[in-house]
Amino acid sequence: MKNHSWEIRLGIILVLCSLAIYTAKFLVLGDPENTYYYFFNAIGFLPINVLFVTLIINQLLSMRSKKERMEKLNMVIGTFFSEVGTRLLAYVSDCDPELDSIRSLLIVGNNWSDEDFRKVRADLSSYSFTAHMTGDTLMEIRRFLQEKRNFLLRLLENPMLLEHQDFTDLLRAVFHLTEELERREDIDIIPETDVIHLSGDVNRVYRLITFEWLSYMRYLEKNYPYLFSLAIRTNPFDEEASVIVKS
């Protein structure tokens, strides 16, 4: 009851205001039949008012709130790619012997439409995403992820991630890979079977991060052209990409 005390007080005040208005109408204008007629008309229209407020206005407010949450979440995703994602994607994709077969698909252009992004996602859906890992590469990835461990932990604590299942899955996969690599003292001497196991963890990240990167590029292209420009110039799949603007 205490949690709703202000609502109860507000309800009582509104009911009293309504009674005061009807009483004033009756005293000033008289004609009780007209007052009763108006009162029942208002009562009859009340369910429609409730329907309008609860279903339509509430839905509009919910849509606006969700849009604001997604905007904040996309800021989090952008931070992830700035701090971790883009470099991690470059590390892993460089170890993909079949990358040249899809590289041209991932050279995002300035004038890509939604249809272009959808077509690329469809074309990549059957790609294997198989990077060949070596001990040296795994060591390099481990050092990088260890440096970013605290950053990844802070991202996992963000409650807004519940709004974006794909990104949540990506973070879990990256964090799992980090744990797997950290628990091995000397990756240089692990057996081939263990390298294959770790490669599976890497390739899980590889697939998830590629699709999430595409979604983020689409978001930037539609909403933030200046950020999109930088993302194009640092495209991890483009061998000729350069942050320097040359033309």
Task: Give, as one character, the DSSP assignment of residue 134.
Answer: -
Do 161 and 178 lie in one domain? The reply is yes
Q: How much is the pLDDT for 101?
A: 93
Mean pLDDT of the chain: 84
Do 6 and 121 lie in one domain? The reply is no
- Read off the pTM: 0.74
In a domain? residue 29: yes
Compute the distance between CA of residue 170 and CA of residue 215 in angstroms, rounded to an integer: 13
If one counts the domains in the chain, the total is 2
Domain finish residue from 17, 36, 60: 60
Lowest mean pLDDT among 9-18, 87-96, 160-169, 235-244: 9-18
Question: Which domain, by its residues, includes 110?
Answer: 69-233
Compute the distance between CA of residue 120 and CA of residue 152 in angstroms, rounded to an integer: 28
Do 210 and 151 lie in one domain? The reply is yes
Do 74 and 40 lie in one domain? The reply is no
In a domain? residue 185: yes
230 closest CA partner among 211, 243, 213 = 243
User: Where do we find the tokens 């990506």?
Assistant: 170
Q: How much is the pLDDT for 176?
A: 93
Q: pLDDT by residue (tens digit) across 146-193?
A: 999 999 888 888 877 777 888 999 999 999 999 999 998 888 888 999
Do 106 and 170 lie in one domain? The reply is yes
Question: Can you list the pairs that 74-80 forms with residues at least 24 positions away whose Cβ atoms lie under 8 Å?
Answer: 74/216, 74/219, 76/155, 76/158, 76/160, 76/161, 77/164, 77/167, 77/212, 77/216, 77/219, 78/216, 78/220, 78/227, 79/155, 80/155, 80/167, 80/171
pLDDT (average), residues 68-86: 87
Q: How much is the pLDDT for 43?
A: 65
